[in-house]
Structure 1
Amino acid sequence: MDIWPEFQQDLERYRDAVLSIKRSIRLYEECIESLIHQIGSIDFDSAQSLFDELFGMQSELATMLYKYEYEPEKRIRDLIYHLDRDDFYSRKYWHEKFSAGLAWPE
């Protein structure tokens, strides 16, 4: 029984999928970095739509981690953890941090 050809195809698909996932995560990172910078550059009330987008992206990354069990790098896991709560007080807290120059939740 020669299973190598099929196994090799599976490995190639896996490699391609992992590379695609890593590229997508990097795009998320770039977008999140931009959102954080924008949030820190404007007043709290004007930042609400940006917060909506930021917390939406956090939710999608959390789905990747918890539903699909894809373990991203620590930086993304930290973001998922720290931005888990989306309410007025957490938005106020993060707006103050981002306005003070924090570039990534820690």
Structure 2
Amino acid sequence: MGSGGSNRIRSAILQVIINQLDFRMPLEQAISFPRIHFENGLLSLEPGIDESIAAALKNEFPRQQHWQKKNLFFGGTHCVALDEKGGHMGIGDERRGGVSLSI
């Protein structure tokens, strides 16, 4: 698993890992699931974050930016994994073109 970009790499990768391990999401869903990022007192949220969760976070994080669509700002996380047959599969993040190639 990896991500190109800036200081949001850690939060992007961590959220994918949490989605997979804690919430048992399939890898593709874990990668495409809406993300959040906190930096310099501003909580940025992608669309799809439940409104009740955003409202609950408002008390702790009053400065919020609600993005209108998924954005590369939140990192483009890509993964390579073993499939059920022991082969390899790749999953590209739609925020960064969503492409994987297996040869």
- Report 1 or 2 for greater relative contact order, CA contacts < 8 Å, sequence distance ≥ 6: 1
State TM-score, norm by structure 2. Answer: 0.24
Instruction: Identify the structure with the greater helix proportion.
Output: 1
Instruction: Name the larger-Rg structure.
Output: 1
Which has the larger strand fraction? 2
